[in-house]
Amino acid sequence: MTIKLIESIKYWGSDNFPNVLKIELIELGADNLPLQKAATPGSFVKDSDISVTVLSIHDDEINIKVKVGVMFLEILWAYCCGDDEPMVSNAYCELIVVINKATAVTKFRVILN
C-alpha cells in the first residue's frame, strides 16, 4: 500500500506543517504506521489513543525528513490468564517519516531505542 501525505505537502513551508503532519499521521492509525515493529514482542498495537510529537524537520531537494515521537497503547496478551482482561501498556517509539515533495509518497523507518 502506498501512503501519501497530501495535506502535509500542501502545508510544507508554512507554520502549520507540523500540526497538519501530526493530524495526518494520527488519522493513518496503527494499521498504517509501523508501530508493531516497536511494540513489545507478543503484544499488539491498539488502534486508538495515538499521539504524535514532531521532534525535528529537515529537507533536501527531493524529500522532507521528519523525526517524530509516537505514543501508543499496546495490548499485552501474554500477561493475562483465562478470562482476565489483557493488560494495556503505554508504549513509545520514534519514526523517521520521509515525504517525497513532488508525489507526497511517504515512507517510514522505525528507530528502535
CATH number at residue 33: 3.10.450
Residue 38: its pLDDT value, please? 87
Residue 46: its pLDDT value, please? 83
Residue 84: its pLDDT value, please? 67
pTM, two decimals, is 0.88
Number of H helices, E strands in the chain: 2, 6
Residue 47: its pLDDT value, please? 77
Q: Where are the alpha helices (DSSP H) in the chain?
A: 6-10, 17-28
Instruction: Identify the segments of the chain with pLDDT beneath 70.
Output: 77-84, 113
Number of domains into which the chain is organized: 1
Residue 107: its pLDDT value, please? 98
Range of the domain at 53: 3-111
The backbone torsions φ and ψ at residue 52, rounded to the nearest 5 degrees and listed phi first, read -130, 135
Residue 100: its pLDDT value, please? 98
Residue 78: its pLDDT value, please? 56
